[in-house]
Structure 1
Amino acid sequence: MPGAGDVPLPPGGVHKLLNNNVVVSIDADGRERVLMGRGIGFQLKHDGRIDLAKVEKTFVLDQATDTAHARKLLTDAPYTLVQAVLHAVDEAERELGRDLGRRFPLAVIDHVHYVVERLDQGIRIPGTSMPELRILHPDESRVAEHMAASIAASLGRELPPEEGVFLTMHLLNATRDEPNGTAALLFRRVQHVVRTVETGLGTTLDTDSADYARFILHVRFLLQRLVDRTMLASGDSSFFEFAKQRYPRSFGIAEAVKAYVLAATSSTLTDEEVLYLIVHVERIATSMGRGDAGGDPSAPVL
């Protein structure tokens, strides 16, 4: 999101007034540039000229769908909210050391505007803490929490604590060099595996434990290996057979995960992948006193 000094603005270009704070200028290539700044549209309304010194932000809209959406969004959203989001986006880009693209600020403005409108109507959008996000995407989660705090401070109001989760997902869409929605799909699958383990153990996992963090990372890389077709494999089945007999409950849970993976991805986990699932599940179960090793944390797990 470059400032006015970073983008050459065509003198005497065609200007379209959206409101007193947002103006659209057509550059020499026929592209629409959205110019934002407090009061920049006021003078345009009177004498048809823009005071470039008042332009705080400008960005290019390349597609007709973006143009229509941006116009409506930037017309409807209070400028104080737009400023709050743009400031938070600037901070996020500095923290991450990268440009988040032209769609990201609009997506966040749209989201925050929706949330604030609902809060003003007394409606709370259901959310969840999603602790897996902090483990799988620590940088994006940290930056998203900072963004939520910055926006709330700029607006002088409290936002729901789960805003960090929603902003993390927006950041993932902006920062991942993969098809849109891939990160969200992978995350949902990790969540499903966690719920399968919790159902098998009959308890909620301790999301702050080291065993949980190791398990989440293992599942994430397991699912990535499925995509890359690089599943673990071994010609020696002795460890797998030992684990299968020694830890029947953890084996049953691992088999339930295997069944889910097959249904979701049409890929069958190898015995080696199932073996490592057994190991992680048994570690978690043992630390919670629910393992096949009798609840003794000192009992060996493979």
Structure 2
Amino acid sequence: MEILKIINNNIISSLDHKNREIIVMGRGIGFGKKVGMRIEEDKIEKIFRMEGKGEAQRFEDLLSEIPLEIFELVTEIVKNAKTYIKDKIQESIYLTLTDHINFARERQRENIQFHNPLLYDIKRLYKKEYRVGEEAVLLINERLGTDMPKDEAASIALHFINARLGNDLPETINIAKLIQSTLKIIQYFFGIELEEDSPEAEHFLTYIKYFAQRVIGGEMTQAQDEVIEQVVTERYHKSYLCVKRIADFIKKEYEIEVSSSEILDLTIQIERITKG
């Protein structure tokens, strides 16, 4: 591989065998080098492949502006995260998380307080990602001498949820908000508090997560059976009315029409959890 661009002494860009731009990191890998020279492979510590040219350029710009210690910290956080999150984590996590931590540190320096309204729901619904966020906050505070609150654990978790699902951050936040709103409607409608520790509750919360992902992602199931629909709406009438309220909320808030198939599935799930 040849050097395409020297970002700093420790980070350069190059092209892989498919002529795609890559970011190459290693201590002193760019020191005393010039564009066109061969990369010393024994100095390569990490190679990053961004999804597109625009993303690669954003990554380069960010790396040229921030201290190396923050990027090394992000690399360690991602490495630790992979022990909990077994799904594929997109390389974009290095870009988004580096940007986030750098901004969070600046916010702390200016004494700007931050509260994440999704803290409780992320902690409850995305336990693995939240644990990654908790450990990341401990590491950040230790290495950077900051005092970031637990809300940052939820924000960092959101970046990992986003990198796992392949969404952009606004879409991931919308999914989390829809989960939150759906659970609130169910609890208010039935006058109950949903338990969290039972296998039934765990199954239901998992279902709600994927329901929200399908709705926001535009991937709702469309199968329809009029006979089953009539049986379900008559037998589970109260649960059906609750789901209709959820569907009305989604249409008003997100301008998305929930399919009849999703309505029926959610009705059955709510009936099970409220009557179980």
Within 5 A, what are the aligned runs for 1:33-112? 33-44=22-33, 53-61=42-50, 63-97=52-86, 100-112=89-101
> Are 1:89 and 1:147, in contact at CA under 8 Å, matched by a contact in 2?
no
Report whether the alignment pairs 1:175 with 2:164. Answer: yes
In structure 2, relative to structure 1, the CA distance for the partners of 1:265 and 1:185 (3 Å cut) is farther
Q: CA deviation at 1:15?
A: 5.0
> Are 2:182 and 2:246, in contact at CA under 8 Å, matched by a contact in 1?
yes
Secondary structure at the aligned position of 2:147 is classed as coil
Report whether the alignment pairs 1:118 with 2:107. Answer: yes
Distance 2:250 2:178 in 1: 8
Within 5 A, what are the aligned runs for 1:1-302? 10=1, 13-26=2-15, 30-44=19-33, 53-61=42-50, 63-97=52-86, 100-176=89-165, 180=168, 184-197=173-186, 199-200=188-189, 205=193, 208=196, 210=198, 213=202, 215-220=204-209, 224=214, 227-230=220-223, 235=228, 244=237, 253-261=242-250, 263=252, 264-268=256-260, 273-274=266-267, 276-277=269-270, 280=273, 283=274, 301=275
Q: Deviations over 1:246-302 (max 9, x none)?
A: x7xx7765542243245532434656754653564xx4xxxxxxxxxxxxxxxxx48
Structure 1 stretches lacking a partner, 5+ long: 1-9, 284-300
Larger Rg: 1
In structure 2, relative to structure 1, the CA distance for the partners of 1:277 and 1:96 (3 Å cut) is closer
In structure 2, relative to structure 1, the CA distance for the partners of 1:138 and 1:228 (3 Å cut) is farther
Structure 2 stretches lacking a partner, 5+ long: none
Q: CA deviation at 1:229?
A: 2.6
Aligned-partner residue type, residue 22 of structure 2: R
Q: CA deviation at 1:80?
A: 0.7
In structure 2, relative to structure 1, the CA distance for the partners of 1:215 and 1:41 (3 Å cut) is same
In structure 2, relative to structure 1, the CA distance for the partners of 1:140 and 1:233 (3 Å cut) is farther
Aligned-partner residue type, residue 158 of structure 2: M
Distance 1:276 1:96 in 2: 27
In structure 2, relative to structure 1, the CA distance for the partners of 1:41 and 1:259 (3 Å cut) is same
Q: Deviations over 1:79-117 (max 9, x none)?
A: 111111111112223443465233221121111111111
Q: CA deviation at 1:228?
A: 1.8
In structure 2, relative to structure 1, the CA distance for the partners of 1:33 and 1:253 (3 Å cut) is closer
TM-score by length of 1: 0.66
Aligned-partner residue type, residue 74 of structure 1: L
CA RMSD of aligned residues (A): 4.0
